[in-house]
């Protein structure tokens, strides 16, 4: 499988030429480097835009998001079109990790995206 990653400052439109050739597009919703950073809100619009392009071009690549994913945004991200959600600090800093995973899964499925 082939994938591509874009940083928060990179436009989704730069991916257009290669989208037919990939299996996964990862949108970083924090600047790579260390865990626990705040989620960059404009990442939701990037997911929506990428999902729109995927539909427009009739493609099937997965959309993944990584960085700052947690209880406050996971349903919105699912609804926006995210297929794969990476939650690091939100899970591993929880007192009860299995309960947090169950909670995040439930919240993600509450969106109307593919995860539902």
* DSSP label at residue 32: T
pLDDT in tens, the chain (116 residues): 999 999 999 999 999 999 999 999 999 999 988 777 789 999 999 999 999 999 999 999 999 999 899 999 999 999 999 999 999 888 999 999 999 999 999 999 886 555 54
By the 10 Å C-beta count (0-12 exposed, 13-18 middle, 19+ buried), 9 is classed as exposed
Check residue 112 and give its pLDDT.
52
Check residue 89 and give its pLDDT.
87
For the domain that residue 38 is a member of, what is the CATH number?
3.20.20.70
Residue 89 lies in a domain: yes
Residue 115 lies in a domain: no
Tokens standing for residue 61: 């690549």
Residue 80 lies in a domain: yes
Residue 63 lies in a domain: yes
Residue 44 lies in a domain: yes
Write the CB contacts of 27 (distance below 8 Å, at least 6 apart in sequence).
5, 6, 12, 43, 46, 47, 50, 63, 64, 65, 66
Check residue 116 and give its pLDDT.
41
Residue 116 lies in a domain: no
Domain that holds residue 54: 3-110
Residue 21 lies in a domain: yes
Check residue 113 and give its pLDDT.
52
Residue 58 lies in a domain: yes
Contact in structure between 29 and 40 (CB atoms under 8 Å) = yes
- In whole angstroms, give the CA distance from residue 9 to residue 104: 27
Predicted TM-score (pTM) of the model is: 0.88
Query: What is the number of structural domains in the chain?
Result: 1
Contact in structure between 28 and 5 (CB atoms under 8 Å) = yes
């Amino acid at each position: 499988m082939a994938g591509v990653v874009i940083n928060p400052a990179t436009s989704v439109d730069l991916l257009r030429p290669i989208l037919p050739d990939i299996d996964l597009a990862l949108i970083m919703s924090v600047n790579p480097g260390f865990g626990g950073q705040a989620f960059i809100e404009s990442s939701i619009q990037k997911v929506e835009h990428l999902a729109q392009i995927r539909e427009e071009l009739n493609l099937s690549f997965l959309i993944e998001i990584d960085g700052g994913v947690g209880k406050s945004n996971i349903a919105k991200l699912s609804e926006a079109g995210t297929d794969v959600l990476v939650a690091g600090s939100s899970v591993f800093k929880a007192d009860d990790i299995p309960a947090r995973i169950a909670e995040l899964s439930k919240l993600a499925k509450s969106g109307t995206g593919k995860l539902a």
